Structure 1
Amino acid sequence: MATGQVKNNYEVTDKQVSKIETSSTKSTEDIANYIKDNFKTDGDKIRAVFYWTASNISYDVENMFAVNFNESKEDKINKALKNRKGVCINYAEVFNDIANKVGIESVVIEGYTKQNGFTDYISHAWCGAKIEGKWFVFDPTWGSGSISGGKFIKKINNYYFKADPSKIITSHMPFDYLWQFLNYPITNQEFYNNNFVINKTKPNFDFEAEIEKYNSLSY
């Protein structure tokens, strides 16, 4: 988990979402209802989704390599809400489910990540959400804190909130290039080689149109 920080301009939203009663956080539906009742704009709603998820779930260091392929999406969400712990897929599923329930188009993205110039050997999960007509990247796991000395240190990192796809691509590489949200996606080899220069000699990729096609096949 990287540790770069950016200024937080959402103090009011963060303070308000922190007031939610514990009894109202046992399901993503309850959390979503609180957010819809207290925030009007998609910008404030998605901030509330991110802040609640990153603040209330701690990274489960002991089980960071444990993978249960039989777990459903609902199982991953319920486990995180019950134990207030999880790994990246738990954070991502919780964020995604709340976002969808407050009326924001959101997806779970899986792929590779890179820290300090080196690609991690285990996969990672994060999210993309469409805010005011534009796609942004959200990583509630890396945004919740970092691991130091084998222990999770809770500290909200706003770099991973509403990240620009053209910037976050230097550390987050989706398995499916559709979720790069870029008109000139980079290749896996370019990612490995730290070559992030936009190459406009490539064919223009209309990812917005492709996402619409994807959504039409998903329902």
Structure 2
Amino acid sequence: MTEWIQTGGQSMMEPVTAAVLLVLLVSLIQGLIRGASGSARRLFFFVWESIVIVACLVLASHWAGKLSPVAADMLRKHVIVPSRELGSIEQAWYTLITSIRDFALLRYVLLFLFIYLLLRVAASGLNPLLELIFRRRAHVDADGRQQERRMALPRQRAASRVFGALLGGVHGAGRAFIFIGVLFVYVSLLPSGIGAQMIKQSPLYMQAAALLEPVAGDMLAGRGPVLAEAMQAEFQNILQRKYEVIDYAIPADIEQAAAQVVKDAATDEAKARALYAWLGTRIAYDWDKARNYEEQGIWQEQSPQNTFDTRKGVCIDVARLYDMMARAVDVEVRVVTGLGADGKGGFGPHAWNEVRIDGKWLPLDATWASSGDWFNSPDFEQTHIRDKQLSI
């Protein structure tokens, strides 16, 4: 702190330092206005609130971990997507509830927030009792404070304000410490986040981080990229689930077509290959739709039924129709999103499928079927980069 004060003139305008100084200044002014008794009360409840927050965070984390598998089992038993066309509200509901059921990170986060809020509400019920206890121990109430101010000598009032300012400074130091702690967690978890580099260059932050590092550094080190990847993967899972719910019901004409395509296939792999060949030769690539999206940002959403009826679509449309037809003939399948080679040395957004054959997921790309054999081809992984998704 001494070093920081000595170099304060050079770093006064640095954002982190300026924010801490503002917190301290506001707290000092508040303490000066409130006086000794008012500042003591505020400091007490600040410390109490900090303890409650930490306790609620720890308990919420513990119980969210304990209840997450219980909630998953309960939802698996009671949540079944209806085998009929769903309205938009039903689609949103089943996307949410099945995502909570199947995706562990989303389930944990929601349980954590719910339990934390419950604990905070419960803890807030103690505030009136603590208020009463504090007032009795301080031997002062609201009316008493007003009378004391009227009867106090100017010197006593000045001493009360000075002591109040000191207590306000202690309060401000606590606030500043929490502020720096939040910055430390943010920089540790998201080292490439917005403003993280600027925060790390702050002289005040560097000194505070040196104190926090032995306490929390090992626990947080390296978690940033892991957390970012986990959140991105969970988001991809939820987007994928949206399509799964929308496409869950299989129209009769698509089901009949799928059955006709695989009528001579004896194994799941033969069924998957027959469907791959059928879509690859029947569904034309919709270049107009692709150009509208690439050049004007206009995206035309279409269902597998639209793709089946018009016999054209882009990669995601082909992949969704393949998914629906494969499910119609009891082949385990999923839609995969990611990047596909563009033939010019680069990659662009793409979608394809994977089918589960003898316990293994085999990739296939019916959109590219006209350009070669893309059913579990040897160089598939060199031309297709899938989005990272969490296992469920």
Q: Residues 26 and 86 of structure 1: is their aligned pair in 2 closer, same or farther, counting only changes over 3 Å? A: farther
SS of 1:109's equivalent in the other structure is: strand
Offset from partner CA, 1:8-52 (integer Å, 9 cap, x none) = xxxxxxxxxxxxxxxxx9832112222453322112111111011
Matched, 1:168 2:368: no
* 1:27–1:81 Cα contact (<8 Å) kept: no
Task: For 1:123 and 1:50, locate their aligned partners in 2 and report how far apart those are by CA, in whole Å.
Answer: 20
Task: For 1:82 and 1:98, locate their aligned partners in 2 and report how far apart those are by CA, in whole Å.
Answer: 14
Matched, 1:90 2:317: yes
Matched, 1:144 2:370: yes
Task: For 2:312 and 2:356, locate their aligned partners in 1 and report how far apart those are by CA, in whole Å.
Answer: 26
Number of residue pairs matched by the alignment: 138
- Displaced runs of 4+ in structure 1, greater than 3 A? 65-71
Give the counterpart letter for 1:138 in structure 2: L
Deviation at 1:109, TM superposition (A): 0.7
Map 1:45-84 onto structure 2 (within 5 A). 45-66=271-292, 71=301, 75-84=302-311
Give the counterpart letter for 1:96 in structure 2: D
Partner of 1:105: 332
Give the counterpart letter for 1:49 in structure 2: L
Indicate the structure with greater helix content.
2
Offset from partner CA, 1:147-193 (integer Å, 9 cap, x none) = xxxxxxxxxx21x11335xx311110111256xxxxxxxxxxxxxxx
Partner of 2:356: 130
Map 1:15-30 onto structure 2 (within 5 A). 27-30=253-256
Task: For 1:107 and 1:56, locate their aligned partners in 2 and report how far apart those are by CA, in whole Å.
Answer: 20
Task: For 2:271 and 2:292, locate their aligned partners in 1 and report how far apart those are by CA, in whole Å.
Answer: 32
* 1:33–1:102 Cα contact (<8 Å) kept: yes
SS of 1:27's equivalent in the other structure is: helix
* 2:339–2:350 Cα contact (<8 Å) kept: yes
Stretch of structure 1 that moved more, 77-86 or 33-42: 33-42
* 2:319–2:335 Cα contact (<8 Å) kept: yes
* 1:112–1:119 Cα contact (<8 Å) kept: no
Task: For 2:381 and 2:344, locate their aligned partners in 1 and report how far apart those are by CA, in whole Å.
Answer: 12
Give the counterpart letter for 2:382 in structure 1: T
* 2:258–2:328 Cα contact (<8 Å) kept: yes
Q: Residues 172 and 91 of structure 1: is their aligned pair in 2 closer, same or farther, counting only changes over 3 Å? A: same
Could you tell me the TM-score, scaled by structure 1's length? 0.56
SS of 1:95's equivalent in the other structure is: helix
* 1:55–1:144 Cα contact (<8 Å) kept: yes
SS of 2:382's equivalent in the other structure is: coil
Deviation at 1:108, TM superposition (A): 0.6
Give the counterpart letter for 1:118 in structure 2: G
Task: For 1:103 and 1:97, locate their aligned partners in 2 and report how far apart those are by CA, in whole Å.
Answer: 10
Task: Structure 1 unaligned segments of length 5 or more: list them.
Answer: 1-24, 146-156, 179-209, 215-219
SS of 1:141's equivalent in the other structure is: helix
* 1:87–1:141 Cα contact (<8 Å) kept: yes
Deviation at 1:69, TM superposition (A): 6.2
* 1:91–1:140 Cα contact (<8 Å) kept: yes
SS of 1:170's equivalent in the other structure is: helix
Task: For 2:289 and 2:383, locate their aligned partners in 1 and report how far apart those are by CA, in whole Å.
Answer: 23
Give the counterpart letter for 2:383 in structure 1: S
Task: Structure 2 unaligned segments of length 5 or more: list them.
Answer: 1-250
Percent of aligned positions that are identical = 28
State the structure with more CA Rg: 2
Task: For 1:129 and 1:110, locate their aligned partners in 2 and report how far apart those are by CA, in whole Å.
Answer: 14
Give the counterpart letter for 1:132 in structure 2: D
Q: Residues 59 and 30 of structure 1: is their aligned pair in 2 closer, same or farther, counting only changes over 3 Å? A: same
Deviation at 1:116, TM superposition (A): 4.8
| Aligned-pair Cα RMSD in Å | 2.5
Task: For 2:287 and 2:300, locate their aligned partners in 1 and report how far apart those are by CA, in whole Å.
Answer: 21
* 2:323–2:353 Cα contact (<8 Å) kept: yes
* 2:354–2:363 Cα contact (<8 Å) kept: yes
Offset from partner CA, 1:191-217 (integer Å, 9 cap, x none) = xxxxxxxxxxxxxxxxxxx3xxx2xxx
Deviation at 1:117, TM superposition (A): 6.8
SS of 1:124's equivalent in the other structure is: strand
